Amino acid sequence: MGTKIFTDIQTEAFIETLNRKVTGWSSMDQDPAWTAWLAGQHFGKTKLQLLREAYATFDAEAVINLVQDFRASAEIPPMTPARPRQEEGVRRSFIKDFYQAIIRGRYRGREKEQETIQGRIDQAISTGKVLNG
């Protein structure tokens, strides 16, 4: 009989801790995203196995950590490839290389491209956006 009372006290403390620290924890099983997330692996076990172990041992902190991990993962937007940062300006080395390429005839037959680059250089010079390097 003493073991039953001890288990009841553990259960009460466990549930009280979860109620205090995790809003809506008791209804999470109704969330398909939660049940799908529990199927994932963590340290060689499914998260569902870890959750069941935490319940069996009345480890409220482990349950709280799992719920917090799930909620944090749900808040993170999907990763998108980072776009390379484009500098606003033109480097001096680019300008030098461009004019050397013109002298060597590398833009012969590509006058439109040469004009576009020259316009970019002129814009950088007039707006003070010529970068060192």
Segment 81-89 shows an average pLDDT of: 57
The pairing of strands 41-42 and 45-46 is antiparallel
**Predicted pLDDT of residue 31:** 85
Report the mean per-residue pLDDT for the chain.
Answer: 82
For 9-40, write each residue's pLDDT tens digit: 888 888 898 889 888 888 888 888 888 899 98
**Predicted pLDDT of residue 104:** 84
For residue 101, give the nearest of 117, 88, 87, 90 by alpha carbon: 117
As a whole-number percent, the residues of the chain with pLDDT over 70 amount to: 84
φ, ψ of residue 41 to 5 degrees: the values are: -90, 150
